[in-house]
């Protein structure tokens, strides 16, 4: 490859890298356009670039900058993970050449191996849940129906952007996951209920292990339910039951 020749990685979107330092360093290489920039690059990043398998950075000229950027991208996008990918493929193929089937039918397997980016909606979110009702006709059942009416209103408010929450945020609160697993959860999520003790204000809570959300019975006021859920989501910390 001739110095200064463009590669197919020139337009590679470095935002796919999760490491901020990698993205910033590649950006510094991309912005190197003067002899002063190159001298500064060598002074601060030459050892890092050499560690990416590009030892000629120490003698590089401005004509080499785009090639070096492409080789850095290639290092982090392909070479550094090549052994892990090979091990993954070998493991898949050890199960009846399963990876070869994936390659042949890649469109069918695309939702399994990639994030399709499908946004949650009110309907798709509601479909995740089974409600643990009390017996029909009981006082508790009436109180639960009042709460679920407010729950459904609140989900609609999320969809219409009338409240400062998202379905993804709510999913994290209940399950610990910020998107639906490709094959779904191992069980349906649950909505169960609890009674508010007199003189006490107990906010809704969740158990991510059992995929359960617990709501108070008898909440018939929109503002009250909104405040309870806001305090639950904004005040929750850590993993587990909050």
Name the more confident of 27 and 10: 27
pTM: 0.59
- Number of domains, the chain: 3
Confidence band, pLDDT 50/70/90 cuts, at residue 237: low
- Answer yes or no: do 22 and 59 share one domain: yes
- Answer yes or no: do 73 and 135 share one domain: no
Tell me whether residue 9 is in a domain. no
Would you tell me how many other CB atoms lie within 10 Å of the CB of residue 180? 17
- Answer yes or no: do 40 and 87 share one domain: no
- Answer yes or no: do 59 and 96 share one domain: no
For residue 93, the enclosing domain spans 83-113
* β partners of residue 11: none
- Answer yes or no: do 59 and 26 share one domain: yes
**Who's near 207: CB < 8 A, 6+ residues apart?**
214, 240, 241
User: What are the tens digits of pLDDT across the range 49-84?
Assistant: 999 999 999 999 999 999 999 999 999 988 988 999
- Answer yes or no: do 141 and 97 share one domain: no
**Dist. CA 216–CA 238, nearest whole Å:** 22
- Answer yes or no: do 128 and 212 share one domain: yes
- Answer yes or no: do 227 and 178 share one domain: yes
- Answer yes or no: do 140 and 231 share one domain: yes
**Dist. CA 226–CA 215, nearest whole Å:** 12
- Answer yes or no: do 48 and 138 share one domain: no
CB under 8 A, 24+ apart: contacts of 217-221: 217/140, 217/143, 217/144, 217/146, 217/147, 217/193, 218/143, 218/146, 218/147, 219/146, 219/147, 219/150, 220/146, 220/147, 220/149, 220/150, 221/150
- Answer yes or no: do 128 and 33 share one domain: no
**Average pLDDT over the chain, rounded to an integer:** 88
For 193, the token pair is 């209920």
User: What are the tens digits of pLDDT across the range 156-203?
Assistant: 999 999 999 999 999 999 999 888 887 789 999 999 999 988 888 899
């Amino acid at each position: 490859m001739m110095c200064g020749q463009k590669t197919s990685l020139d337009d590679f979107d470095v935002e796919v890298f999760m490491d901020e330092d990698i993205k910033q360093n590649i950006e510094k290489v991309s912005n190197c356009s003067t002899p002063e920039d190159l001298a500064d690059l060598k002074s601060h990043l030459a050892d890092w670039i050499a560690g990416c398998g590009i030892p000629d950075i120490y003698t590089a000229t401005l004509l080499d900058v785009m090639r070096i950027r492409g080789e850095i991208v290639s290092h982090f996008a392909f070479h550094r993970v090549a052994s892990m990918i090979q091990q993954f493929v070998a493991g898949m193929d050890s199960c009846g050449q399963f990876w070869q089937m994936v390659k042949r039918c890649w469109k069918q397997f695309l939702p399994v191996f990639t994030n399709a980016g499908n946004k949650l909606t009110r309907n798709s979110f509601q479909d995740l849940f089974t409600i643990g009702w009390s017996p029909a006709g009981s006082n508790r059942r009436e109180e639960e129906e009042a709460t679920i009416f407010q729950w459904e209103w609140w989900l609609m408010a999320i969809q219409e952007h009338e409240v400062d929450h998202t379905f993804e945020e709510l999913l994290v609160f209940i399950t610990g996951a910020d998107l639906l697993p490709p094959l779904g959860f191992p069980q349906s999520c649950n909505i169960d209920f609890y009674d508010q003790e007199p003189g006490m204000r107990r906010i809704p809570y969740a158990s991510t292990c059992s995929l359960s959300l617990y709501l108070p019975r008898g909440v018939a006021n929109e503002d009250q339910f909104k405040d309870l859920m806001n305090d639950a989501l904004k005040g929750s910390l850590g993993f587990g039951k909050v």
